[in-house]
Amino acid sequence: MSDLNGQTIVIIGGSSGIGFAVATQALRSRASHVIMASSSSQKVDNALKRLDALIRQSGLIAHVTGKVLDMKDSNQIRAFFSEIGQLDHLVITSGDPPILGPFKTLDLDQARGSFDTRFWGAAVAAQSAQLKKGGSIVLTVGTVIKKPEPGWALVTGQAGATDSLTRGLAVDLAPIRVNIIAPGYVNTELWDTVPQDAREKMLQEAADKLPVKHVASADEIAEAYLFCMKCGFIAGETLHVNGGQT
Ligand SMILES: NC(=O)c1ccc[n+]([C@@H]2O[C@H](COP(=O)([O-])OP(=O)(O)OC[C@H]3O[C@@H](n4cnc5c(N)ncnc54)[C@H](OP(=O)(O)O)[C@@H]3O)[C@@H](O)[C@H]2O)c1
């Protein structure tokens, strides 16, 4: 089996949820350097402490660096990659809360911002990252690209653009491999803004409708990112990891 022995993995959005789970699994797959970034210094510091503790407790030979980076800011993204130099794999899981609601009443000017973070942020990062031979990029969308819920029209448009970007990049950046993960419901900090009772009800209802009868843990989704990094024969693909939702 291949692993990430000695490799440098950059995870933008690595301070919580799916990105944090990718960071822990990359370390367990023997990555030598994990660089984790997100926009809040407090969240980055906190994640750094948890990952350092994992390295100590598991006796891993690796180190972790945390950096503050706002994916809305193209200049920050360019400076970030220029500072870190060469890397093996770039994972992007960052995403601000989606702008949802009945399409006719959505504030479209406000909603433009999510394209900055999620579409343009990914494009600028893919252009700036200095990936080594054999390297890859793994982006993130959601099940919405196949099965939008009412009120998700704009998110669906943005996610579809990022999904298509993946295939374009897989051609333009070849032989660097570019893939994208479309998770279904995942129990992460993303849902922390929903009050606890409502959150539990929502996730339970989602679980009941799924063939697998549970919503995903961040670790279950992280497996797909690890696969895309390790498997040298996957390129330009969207991996749907949604418990059978679609
Ligand atoms: N959880 C689900 O059910 C689910 C389902 C389908 C798709 N997804 C997608 O999967 C991705 C990861 O979700 P998650 O559940 O892991 O959410 P999460 O726990 O909230 O993680 C999101 C990460 O993105 C970072 N982030 C947010 N805005 C950023 C910005 N402007 N610049 C840089 N980093 C930023 C956050 O840190 P800071 O706050 O420090 O910036 C955090 O590290 C998201 O794109 C989400 O839309 C999630």
Instruction: Name the one residue in this structure whose structure tokens are 């999620």.
Output: 118
Residue 209, Ramachandran bin (φ over 0: left; ψ between -120 and 50: alpha; else beta): alpha
pLDDT at residue number 8: 98
Query: How many Å apart are CA 2 and CA 164, to the nearest integer?
Result: 28
Query: How many Å apart are CA 173 and CA 220, to the nearest integer?
Result: 28
Question: Which residue is closest in CA terms to ligand 1's atom 43?
Answer: 13
Tokens standing for 109? 């000017």
* Each residue's pLDDT tens digit, 32-44: 999 999 999 999 9
Question: Which residue is closest in CA terms to ligand 1's atom 37?
Answer: 38
- Domain assignment present for 246: no
Across the beta sheet with 63-68, the strand order is 63-68, 33-38, 8-12, 86-92, 130-140, 177-183, 238-241
Q: Is 70 in the pocket of ligand 1 (CB under 6 A)?
A: yes
With a pLDDT cut of 70, the percent of the chain lying above it is 100
Query: How many Å apart are CA 32 and CA 21, to the nearest integer?
Result: 16
pLDDT at residue number 98: 84
Residues forming beta bridges with residue 179, ordered by sequence position: 138
* Each residue's pLDDT tens digit, 73-129: 999 999 999 999 999 999 999 998 888 999 999 999 888 888 999 999 999 999 999
Question: Which residue is closest in CA terms to ligand 1's atom 28?
Answer: 96
pLDDT band of residue 222 (cuts 50, 70, 90) is: very high
Query: How many Å apart are CA 147 and CA 240, to the nearest integer?
Result: 11
Which atom from ligand 1 is nearest to the alpha carbon of 189?
A: 19
Which atom from ligand 1 is nearest to the alpha carbon of 118?
A: 45
For residue 2, pLDDT over 80 is answered with no
Residues forming beta bridges with residue 35, ordered by sequence position: 10, 65
Q: Is 38 in the pocket of ligand 1 (CB under 6 A)?
A: yes
- Domain assignment present for 1: no
Closest CA to 141 of 221, 235, 223, 198: 221
Q: How far is the CA of 162 from the centre of ligand 1 (A)?
A: 15
Q: Which domain holds residue 88?
A: 8-241
Which atom from ligand 1 is nearest to the alpha carbon of 69?
A: 33
| Structural domains counted in the chain | 1
pLDDT at residue number 101: 92
Identify the helix (H) or strand (E) that includes residue 82.
helix 74-84
Q: Is 189 in the pocket of ligand 1 (CB under 6 A)?
A: yes
- Domain assignment present for 3: no
CATH number at residue 187: 3.40.50.720
- Domain assignment present for 203: yes
Identify the helix (H) or strand (E) that includes residue 183.
strand 177-183
- Domain assignment present for 108: yes
pLDDT at residue number 1: 62
Question: CB–CB of 66/40 below 8 Å?
Answer: no
Best mutation site among 68, 81, 162, 188 for ligand 1, i.e. most ligand atoms within 8 A of its Cβ? Answer: 188
pLDDT band of residue 66 (cuts 50, 70, 90) is: very high
Query: How many Å apart are CA 144 and CA 142, to the nearest integer?
Result: 5
- Domain assignment present for 2: no
